[in-house]
């Protein structure tokens, strides 16, 4: 009688896992890769239904020669980068504050995580309500005679630097990154820091040389997700941003909904470029931070 | 050279649980002291208080007669080596060992030189570039030790230093710790639940039960002159017969024995004698009759269980004795007077009380 060797056993195990994952994976491939492929084909000006039979790169040429596209790209990068960095830093700080046990920790943690459940739209409306020049803060400051007219309130919405958009993303992403960092902190425990302290590391050194390298992989993966999301998200820049330059996703949707069907390939090309740029930036970012972790 | 003194040290946790209760210890400079006890007896809590990782509820800790309670842990020079080593996983061995010096902003070249020196000391030369994950448990332990020693601590604190190692590695590590400690003359305190480890390594043992210090003495005294029955039991004592001590003799239900050595003055007490001290065959004095209930032949020795009236004792003898004594036969036992140690009467043990109630 032959017994199955450990290798074939493992092979069988792997096959089992692959089979179990097939439905989910095929759905993802169909929806994601299918969509991507369709978009790519359209971006090549190939759309036989309206008589476009010759694939070409015209749409890409239009995108890359369009000034608005570059302005949009810079704006979108600025929004995604700034909000990711600020949210990450604040989230790490918040996670460190929420880490020790203290009275009322449960309640504070609850409020900290609460806005995870709110849609972005709710936050955007809140920002409009609070920070716009006709908003709550502007009125309060006017009534308190800090400023003479609401319009003197600094423009945080529809402004050049997209402050309203960034505020909204920070508000929404801090708990997201924070919860992940908290989980990492919980799983590594405090013993490494105790070792460092006993070896003479002060509070800052413990954070710099022990806590940070330990949580960095968690911060990294959370902030990559946040970056990718903020780079590609549509509704917040649509609600809180100026119309020129608009963020890339807004620009893409605008071209897509253009009455001129010929603008559609351009919209698709733009979407392709957004996807490629986002992927490239994420890879570069991961590479950088990984090198940082290794060198510390 | 650091002398450590714990004065009425107490730690009560939030749930009113006294992990350490009124502990006082004088630890001589340059000695190796074991904090010994079953798990949950407060030994690790004590160590963490010395390291500064926990603040005592009451009492004080002195290094060379200076209280260290208000000195930050990172400035105490009390370096703790944890049971699970805790090497920083993202650093190589060299950076791990050099960590303490880097925190003190020591010159990089100097750090490199000292790291190499430390690796020599723990007998792992040249492995600076390896990652902790590439090391065996024993190697990780040595690296953790080197990382602590490089900062030349006033006090070295070892938390169960050998418990995660295989038996043969344990012996090796034991000798290494002992020889390094002798060489560097660092006041060292280590926590262990293993009675044998404490006996082999330590100059002095502080035995703790339930947060309370039971006895603080050199290892031999725990065998020869334990202060309670519970301590004697923890150190492998098996034979306890209640009696009354009077004029250097203890009178038990089964007979009277000369007992010149005693931890109590007179009155109700307990006779104790270690299994290896009992002799089979009478000498004319300090003898008692017993019936052999069972025996085990172990090779290097033989072990007999013997009933003496209502009491039972164990005797460990020469292996050849099994040829002369059958189970069920009557035998005369000799308790050499100098091997008898008289203890205070045994307290009713709580657990036993629970058992009989349930």
Residues A258-289 have pLDDT tens digits of 877 767 788 888 888 888 888 888 888 778 77
Contacts of A192 in chain B (CB under 8 A): 86, 88
Of all residues in chain A, the one with the smallest CA distance to B146 is: A199
B89 CA: distance to closest CA in chain A (Å): 9
Radius of gyration of chain A, Cα coordinates, nearest whole angstrom:
24
A181 CA: distance to closest CA in chain B (Å): 17
Whether the ω angle into residue A245 lies within 30 degrees of 0, i.e. cis, is: yes
pLDDT of residue B353: 36
pLDDT of residue A6: 57
Task: Find the CB nearest A202 among B74, B102, B151.
Answer: B74
Mean pLDDT of A66-91: 92
pLDDT of residue B351: 45
Contacts of A195 in chain B (CB under 8 A): 80, 82, 86
Report, as ranges of residue numbers, the positions in chain B whose pLDDT lies below 70: 348-358
Residue A53, pLDDT > 90, answer: no
What is the bridge-based pairing of β-strands B341-343 and B267-273? antiparallel
Contacts of A296 in chain B (CB under 8 A): 90
Q: What is the pLDDT of residues A13-34, one digit of tens each?
A: 888 888 888 888 888 888 888 8
Distance CA B275, CA B255 (A): 18
Distance CA B6, CA B59 (A): 8
Q: Give the confidence band of A118 by pLDDT, cuts at 50, 70, 90.
A: confident
B302 to B147, B283, B296, B328: CA distances (angstroms)? 46, 21, 6, 16
| Residues of chain A above pLDDT 70, percent | 95
> Among A154, A153, A120, which residue's Cα sits nearest to residue A237?
A120
pLDDT of residue A100: 87
Of all residues in chain B, the one with the smallest CA distance to A201 is: B103
Task: Find the CB nearest A197 among B73, B82, B102.
Answer: B73
pLDDT of residue A295: 55
- CB of B71 within 8 Å of a chain A CB? The answer is no
Instruction: Look at A198 and B51 and tell me if their CB atoms are within 8 Å.
Output: yes
pLDDT of residue B118: 94
- CB of B100 within 8 Å of a chain A CB? The answer is yes
Q: Give the confidence band of A211 by pLDDT, cuts at 50, 70, 90.
A: very high
Residue A293, pLDDT > 70, answer: no
pLDDT of residue B65: 92
pLDDT of residue A7: 59
B236 CA: distance to closest CA in chain A (Å): 34
A198 CA: distance to closest CA in chain B (Å): 5
> Among B82, B37, B41, B97, which residue's Cα sits nearest to residue B222?
B37
Instruction: Look at A199 and B73 and tell me if their CB atoms are within 8 Å.
Output: no
Instruction: Look at A201 and B147 and tell me if their CB atoms are within 8 Å.
Output: no
Task: Find the CB nearest B151 among A191, A199, A209.
Answer: A199
- CB of B99 within 8 Å of a chain A CB? The answer is yes
Contacts of B141 in chain A (CB under 8 A): none
pLDDT of residue B356: 35
Which of residues A10 and B155 earns the better pLDDT score? B155
Task: Find the CB nearest B86 among A195, A209, A293.
Answer: A195
User: Domain boundaries in chain A?
Assistant: 1-43, 57-295
pLDDT of residue B283: 86
Instruction: Look at A199 and B99 and tell me if their CB atoms are within 8 Å.
Output: yes
Say what the pTM is.
0.78
pLDDT of residue A248: 87
Structure tokens at A271: 């979407």
Q: Which residues of A249-260 are buried (b: 16+ CB within 10 A; e: fewer)?
A: bbbbbbbeeeee
Distance CA A191, CA A197 (A): 10
A18 CA: distance to closest CA in chain B (Å): 30
* pLDDT mean across residues, chain A: 86
Q: If you ran DSSP here, which 8-state letter would residue B19 be given?
A: E
Q: What is the pLDDT of residues A147-198, one digit of tens each?
A: 888 888 888 788 888 888 999 999 999 999 999 999 999 998 899 999 999 9
Contacts of A214 in chain B (CB under 8 A): 90
Distance CA B201, CA A254 (A): 78
Contacts of B97 in chain A (CB under 8 A): none
CATH of domain A57-295: 1.10.3720.10
Contacts of A202 in chain B (CB under 8 A): 72, 74, 103
Residue A79, pLDDT > 90, answer: yes
């Amino acid at each position: 009688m032959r017994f199955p060797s450990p290798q074939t056993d493992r092979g069988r195990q792997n096959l089992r896992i692959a089979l179990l994952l097939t439905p989910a994976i095929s759905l993802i491939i169909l929806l994601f890769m299918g969509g991507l492929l369709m978009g790519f084909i359209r971006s090549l000006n190939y759309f036989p239904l309206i008589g476009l039979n010759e694939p070409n790169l015209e749409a890409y040429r239009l995108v890359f020669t369009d000034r608005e596209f570059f302005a949009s790209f810079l704006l979108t990068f600025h929004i995604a980068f700034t909000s990711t960095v600020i949210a990450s830093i604040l989230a790490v700080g918040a996670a460190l504050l929420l880490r020790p046990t203290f009275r009322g920790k449960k309640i504070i943690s609850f409020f900290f995580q609460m806005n995870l459940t709110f849609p972005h739209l709710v936050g955007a409306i809140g920002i409009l309500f609070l920070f716009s020049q006709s908003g709550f803060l502007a009125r309060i400051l006017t009534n308190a005679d800090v400023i003479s007219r609401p319009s003197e309130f600094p423009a945080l919405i529809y402004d050049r630097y997209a402050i309203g958009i960034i505020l909204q993303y920070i508000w929404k992403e801090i708990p997201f990154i924070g919860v992940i960092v908290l989980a990492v902190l919980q799983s590594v425990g405090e013993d490494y820091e105790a070792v460092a302290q006993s070896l003479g590391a002060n509070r800052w050194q413990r954070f710099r040389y022990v806590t940070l390298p330990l949580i960095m992989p968690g911060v990294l993966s959370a902030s990559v997700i946040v970056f990718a999301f903020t780079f590609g998200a549509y509704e917040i820049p649509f609600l809180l941003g100026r119309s020129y330059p608009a963020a890339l996703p807004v620009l893409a949707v605008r071209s897509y909904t253009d009455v001129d069907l010929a603008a559609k390939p351009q919209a698709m090309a733009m979407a392709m470029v957004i996807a490629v740029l986002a992927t490239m930036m994420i890879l570069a970012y991961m590479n950088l931070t990984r090198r940082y972790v290794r060198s510390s | 050279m650091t002398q450590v003194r714990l004065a009425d040290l107490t730690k009560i946790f939030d749930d009113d649980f006294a992990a350490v209760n009124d502990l006082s210890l004088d630890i001589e400079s340059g000695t190796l002291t074991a904090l010994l006890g079953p798990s949950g007896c407060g030994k690790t809590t004590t160590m963490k208080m010395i390291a500064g990782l926990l603040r005592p509820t009451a009492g004080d800790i002195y290094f060379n007669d200076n209280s260290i309670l208000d000195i930050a842990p990172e400035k105490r020079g009390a370096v703790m080596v944890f049971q699970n080593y805790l090497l920083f996983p993202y650093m190589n061995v060299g950076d791990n060992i050099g960590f303490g010096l880097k925190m003190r902003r020591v010159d990089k070249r100097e750090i490199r030189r000292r790291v190499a020196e430390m690796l020599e000391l723990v007998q792992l030369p040249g492995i600076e570039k390896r990652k902790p994950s590439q090391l065996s448990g024993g190697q990780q332990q040595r690296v953790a030790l080197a990382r602590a020693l490089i900062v030349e601590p006033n006090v070295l604190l070892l938390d169960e230093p050998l418990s995660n190692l295989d038996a043969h590695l344990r012996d090796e590590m034991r000798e290494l710790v002992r020889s390094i400690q002798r060489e560097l003359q660092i006041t060292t305190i280590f926590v262990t639940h293993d009675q044998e480890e404490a006996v082999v390594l330590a100059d002095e043992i502080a035995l703790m039960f339930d947060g309370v210090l039971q006895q603080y003495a050199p290892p031999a005294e725990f065998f020869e002159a334990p202060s309670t029955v519970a301590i004697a039991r923890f150190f492998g004592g098996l034979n306890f017969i209640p009696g009354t001590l009077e004029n250097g003799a203890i009178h038990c239900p089964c007979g009277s024995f000369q007992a010149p050595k005693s931890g109590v003055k007179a009155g109700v007490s307990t006779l104790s004698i270690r299994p290896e001290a009992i002799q089979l065959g009478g000498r004319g004095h300090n003898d008692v009759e017993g019936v052999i209930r069972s025996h085990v032949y172990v090779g290097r020795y033989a072990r007999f269980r013997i009933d003496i009236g209502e009491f039972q004792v164990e005797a460990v003898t020469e292996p050849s004795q099994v040829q002369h004594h059958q189970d069920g036969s009557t035998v005369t036992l000799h308790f050499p007077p100098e091997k008898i140690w008289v203890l205070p009467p045994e307290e009713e043990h709580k657990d036993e009380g629970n058992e009989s109630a349930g």
